[in-house]
Each structure stands twice: as C-alpha cells, then as structure tokens.
Amino acid sequence: MQIPTTANWMTFAFDHLMSLGRAPDNDLDPCHDLIVREVARQDVTADLIVRWRDLESRSCHVNAFLSPDFLLPAWKWLEPGGRSFLLTVEERQSGRLRALGCFEESPASTSLPLPHLVAAKTIHSFRTGLLLDEDTADLTLNVWLKYLRKQSQWGGVVFPSLRLDSILAQRIQSSVKACNLSWHTGTKISSAALFSPIVNEETLTKHLSAHRRNSLRRKQRNLESLGPVRLHWIERPDEVAQAIEQFLILEDAGWKGAEGTSLQSDFAAAEFLRSMATGFFERGRLVLTQLIAGDHVVATSINLRGASTLFAFKIGWDPRFAKTSPGTLHQNLMLPLVCRDFPEVTCVDSCAKPGSFLEDIWPHRITIADAVIPTSRLALSALAAMNSVRFLKNVLHSVGK
C-alpha cells in the first residue's frame, strides 16, 4: 500500500472539504436572536466602529490589539492590501455586537493541516483573541462555534499568542467542550507581567534580590550625574506628538535601528504609530511615559490600556546611557505610577518574549500559546495524524543522538 505524501494528503483533505459545500450563512437555531457576519475591511462603517467601541467597553477581556484604535491604523499603514476581515456576532434586530474578532484565511499549516481561519496579527500585534460580551458570553460563543462548524471551507480556527490564563480563554474552552469540540494548544511560554492587586507601591521591589536592588540604586545614582531623575507621564495633548517623535528617535538609535527593524526605519510603520497613539490618547487609553535625567530624555515607553490590562507596547532608550540600564530603570519606576494612578488596572502585560530583561524586575508571569480548535471530524483526524508524525520524528531524533 502506498502511503500518501504530505502534498497528496493536503489535496485530498481540501477536495473532500470543498465537496461538502458551504452551509448557508447564519443558518442558526431560530431561538437565538444572534447572527454571525463576515465583514470585509472596506465594509467597515462609522456605525460599526461605534458598536465596536461599545463592545470593547463590555468585553470580558479587553485586548488593545483588537481595538479599532489599533486595527484601523494597522490596516491602513501596515497591511493596506491585507486579507483580514472581521467576524462578528450581533443581535439580529438591534445590531448590537456580542463578539468580534479579526481573522484571515490560511492554507494548511503546521498548526492545522487543512485550510482554516487564523486570528490575524500584524508585525506589531502581540496578543490575539476575541472581544466578547461578558453578559452573553456562553450563548455568543455557542452561536459562533456552530457557525464555524457549518463552514466547510474552514477546518477550524487558530488563535496565535493567546493568553491561556485569561477569562476569555477559559470561556472559549468551556464552550468548545459544551459543543463537543476539542481544544489544543502548542508550546506554552511565559511572559513577564505584574498583577497589581497583589503588588502594591510599598512592596514593588521586595521580590528583588538584595544584589538586584543595590544594582538598580547604583545605576540610578550614575544617571543622576546628568541631573535629577524622574518619570514623566505625558498628559497634555501638545506633548504627545513630540514624545512620539522622541520615542522614534530613541528606538532607531538602538539595536533595532542597526538591524533595520525600528519603526523609524519604515515610513508606514512610523505613520501607523503616530495614528494609533493619537487615537488611544484621545480616548484616555495611552500611557506614554519618559524617564528624564536632568534635561535628557533617556527612555520613552508606550503603553496601551485595555480596561483592566495595560499592555507594554514599545520602549526605546538612549544607547549612550546603556550602562545605566535606562529601559530597566524606566519600567521599574513606572510600576508605582500604574498602582497609584490606574487602580482599575489589575495586570500589566509585558508583551515580551521569554528571556526579556523584564523578567528580572517584574515578579509575575502569564501563559501564552497558540490555541487550535478543529471544527470538523476530518480536521480533528488530520491534526491527530500530524501530531503523531511530529511525536514520532521527535522520538527518532532522540534515538539518533
């Protein structure tokens, strides 16, 4: 018996799915007054943006990277010809949104070996997920999952970089189980974080070793040779544009500029940042701070607020003062400001990869992984087969060492 090649298997699976035909859109249980809509980017209206913002204020887990203040500038500047679209769940009569996500169609991949949906990410997005109405979360997810099961052109949905310990992930897992579907996760990683209800202003540095505390004090004293060291929170509209430009200069002066990955090195990326930051500031959701020593701005941090979570989006520092670790000093001094001035923030998400310098100063961790939900038996079987092959390869590789 000839064993099909990977390419033949993919072709067979895709052809089989296509032969099943696509179920009519919104062919849902009539007892539910909810419908699912696919909204192309060019069809996003001012009315939808208003309803989108309203959902954001009601979501059980607010993700700044799913805010219209983030996605609309990202679509314009980072992905002007992108394939992503919105998938919404809304009330049939009123149009009130109950869920919203941004997705794109993906061919077979290492996450799911059949064509599927994947939560869309830009190069500057660090978390994916859904905006999900808290009051109707279970019903809404049930409708959403039923809709996905009817779409024979998609074998499932993948959420890259999903925060597994969030209420959103817990709700999705519960609904997946209730719908007799399965939930799979890839390699789990830890990302530095701060849970502010646990850590107050008096105990922010208690988790640090004596050596680390002394090192931070010594570096701050060295920086004080330039003048008094302070953290400045940008609150005035006339300061925002200047502070953003200062950040672009600082980031470009460091290793990202040398590698050509700084925002300043890409005109579209810099325009995206200016537009996105302005939108967040206008709605009181931008936490833009500067570490100042004397007359020198030595570090600038851009943070995006999403209800109870503050996302540490970007930081840039002056490489001339690298020996004083201005980025570390800035992030350490920022925490008391967050605890004091933003009591509604219960988590600061570093958005950082494992091994970040923030792991040395921020005591907590959140768990991130790619989550996969196969929505057909064929997709589940294909995923199981792929995982078995992957396991066998790992075993053979271990034996061969």
What single letter denotes the amino acid at residue 83?
Answer: R
**pLDDT for 134-170, tens place per residue?**
999 999 999 999 999 999 999 999 999 999 999 999 9
Residue 181, SS3? coil
Can you spell out the DSSP letters for 215-262?
Answer: HHHHHHHHHGGGS-EEEEE--SHHHHHHHHHHHHHHHHHSHHHHHT-S
How high is the mean pLDDT of the chain? 88
pLDDT for 132 equals: 98
Can you spell out the DSSP letters for 147-172?
Answer: HHHH-TT--EEEEEEEETTSHHHHHH
More confident call, 340 vs 377: 377
Confidence of residue 195 (pLDDT cuts 50, 70, 90): confident
Please tell me whether residues 78 and 206 are part of one structural domain.
no
Please tell me whether residues 213 and 155 are part of one structural domain.
no
**pLDDT for 269-290, tens place per residue?**
999 999 999 999 999 999 999 9
Global confidence as pTM: 0.87
**pLDDT for 341-394, tens place per residue?**
888 899 999 999 999 999 988 889 999 999 999 999 998 888 888 877 766 666
Mean pLDDT for 30-59 is 92
* 395 inside domain: no
What does DSSP say about strands 34-40 and 97-106: parallel, antiparallel, or unpaired?
unpaired
Mean pLDDT for 184-208 is 78
Please tell me whether residues 147 and 225 are part of one structural domain.
no
Domain that holds residue 225: 196-345
Total domains present in the chain:
2
Mean pLDDT for 219-223 is 95
| CA–CA dist 394, 326 (Å, integer) | 42
Structure tokens at 192: 């530095």
Please tell me whether residues 148 and 33 are part of one structural domain.
yes
* 398 inside domain: no
* 363 inside domain: no
CATH number of the domain within which 280 lies: 3.40.630.30
| CA–CA dist 195, 364 (Å, integer) | 7
Q: Which contiguous run of DSSP H or E holds residue 279? A: helix 267-282
Residues in Cβ contact with 181 at an 8 Å cutoff, skipping those fewer than 6 apart:
145, 149, 373, 374, 375
The rounded percent of the chain whose pLDDT value lies above 90 is 74
* 240 inside domain: yes
